[in-house]
Amino acid sequence: MAAYDFAPVSEVRRRDLPREMKERAVINNRREVEKARRARILNVKNRTIGLDVPALNAQVKTKADMHTLEKRRQDALDQAMIASTQQADILQLEVNRIKASQERELREYRAKFQGRQSRREYDLSDPNTVRNDTNPIEHPEKLGLGSAQLFTGMDMTAEERKLVQAEQMRAWCAEHIEAKEAAEARERDATLKYEHAQNHIAASLDGIISMHNSSKKNVVLSTAAENKALADAKREHTEREKAATEAQNVAEINTAMDSAFLTEDPATTVSAINPNRPVPYHFKGLPVEYKQHILDVQMHQARDQQESKMADKANDAAWEQYTLSANREAVLMERHIERQRSQQRRELAETHRSQAAERRSRRPPSARADPAPEFFAQFGTSSR
């Protein structure tokens, strides 16, 4: 692969390649396939999970590109929507301005050319017709042939009628005031009587409530005294039971501490039938002398084990030293053998050179000689 660059060629050129190059290309292709397969095998995640990581990466990249394109398209749509909204707002403002101008012009036209006074029926629906009407007698120059008649809106006795109406109104007001004062007096009397009755009822109710509270207080006090007496009796009974229980517990503790089980009486471990026979289920521990003997044996065993470890360590060190010396001797022997082989190769090469020189000296001279430069100079001299 390092000597040749196998670029893609056509089938014709591949047939023209030497067999060695084709074989080298096949071998290199197999090596690349094996290298890729080994990388897949040595990848723990790919081997255990069984995922095609390049395909997944390609899918992730494709999805990311699609997401980017979708985001760009959405941004373009958003920008177009914003521009359309702004244009619509501008058009709506223009429409509103035109409508306001038209309404303002319509109001001005109506106020200027379509007033109520310009209507034909305005005198029939004028609310100030009677107020604006005048008495014909006050203006004799306006009297005519029909002045003896009474027209709508004419009232010649208005002043006298207003005086009579005022007197009647004052009388009615006086009567209403007297009736109202009498009703208020009756209401005040009824209110006073009701308040006296309510005060009497409230005083009676307060007395009853005070009697009830005093009786309730007495009941509560008597109940509290009774509960206190019961609590004192219960506390004394509890204290007596606690003292008796503590005394019983102390007695049991003393009995247990003085028992043969806790004192570990050695006499209980000897059989009553045979004094030389111990009772297994009454075992109370080993004697002090036997415990000391066990400790001495354990110390002796530990000392023997330590000496054995030291001996093993010395043997390991001696074996390691022997191994190093053997390895050193083997290396020296291998070097000596390698020097002998090098000497033999040099001698063999010298022998081969001498044999080759001898064969060349014995070979007859060749009948064919290489052409001289004059032979090639005779070609290409024509002017045609």
In Å, what is the CA distance from 231 to each residue of 167, 218, 237, 239? 92, 20, 10, 12
Give yes or no for a contact between 182 and 163, defined as CB atoms under 8 angstroms apart. no
Alpha-carbon dihedral of residues 196, 202, 204, 210, nearest 10 degrees? -150
Rounded to 5°, the CA angle 145-150-154 comes to 120
Q: In the structure encoding, which two tokens stand for residue 137, read together?
A: 């007698």
Place of tokens 């009974």: 237
Which among 68, 88, 90 is positioned nearest to 80, based on CA atoms?
88
Q: How many residues in the chain? A: 384
User: Domain residues of the chain, as ranges?
Assistant: 11-111, 223-285, 287-341
* Three-state SS letters, the chain: CCCCCCCCCCHHHHHHCCHHHHHHHHHHHHHHHHHHHHHHHHCHHHHHHCCCHHHHHHHHHHHHHHHHHHHHHHHHHHHHHHHHHHHHHHHHHHHHHHHHHHHHHHHHHHHHHCCHHHCCCHHHHCCCHHHHCCCHHHCHHHCCCCCCCCCCCCCCCHHHHHHHHHHHHHHHHHHHHHHHHHHHHHHHHHHHHHHHHHHHHHHHHHHHHHHHHHHHHHHHHHHHHHHHHHHHHHHHHHHHHHHHHHHHHHHHHHHHHCCHHHHCCHHHHECCCCCCCECHHHCCCCCHHHHHHHHHHHHHHHHHHHHHHHHHHHHHHHHHHHHHHHHHHHHHHHHHHHHHHHHHHHHHHHHHHHHHHHHHHHCCCCCCCCCCHHHHHCCCCCCC
Tell whether the torsion through CA atoms of 278, 281, 282 and 286 is positive or negative: positive
For the full predicted model, state whether its pTM sits above 0.85. Answer: no
Tell whether the torsion through CA atoms of 71, 73, 77 and 79 is positive or negative: positive
Exposure of 178 in the CB half-sphere (CA atoms within 13 A): 5
Give yes or no for a contact between 218 and 210, defined as CB atoms under 8 angstroms apart. no
- pLDDT tens for the 384 residues of the chain, in order: 444 444 444 444 555 677 888 888 899 999 998 988 888 777 776 666 656 677 778 888 888 998 898 889 888 888 888 888 888 889 889 999 999 999 999 888 888 887 777 777 776 777 777 677 666 666 666 666 655 555 555 566 677 778 888 888 999 999 999 989 998 998 888 888 888 888 888 888 888 888 888 888 888 888 888 888 888 988 999 999 999 999 999 998 888 887 766 776 777 777 778 877 777 777 777 777 878 888 999 999 999 999 999 999 999 999 999 989 889 998 999 999 999 999 999 999 999 988 888 888 877 655 555 667 777 777 766 655
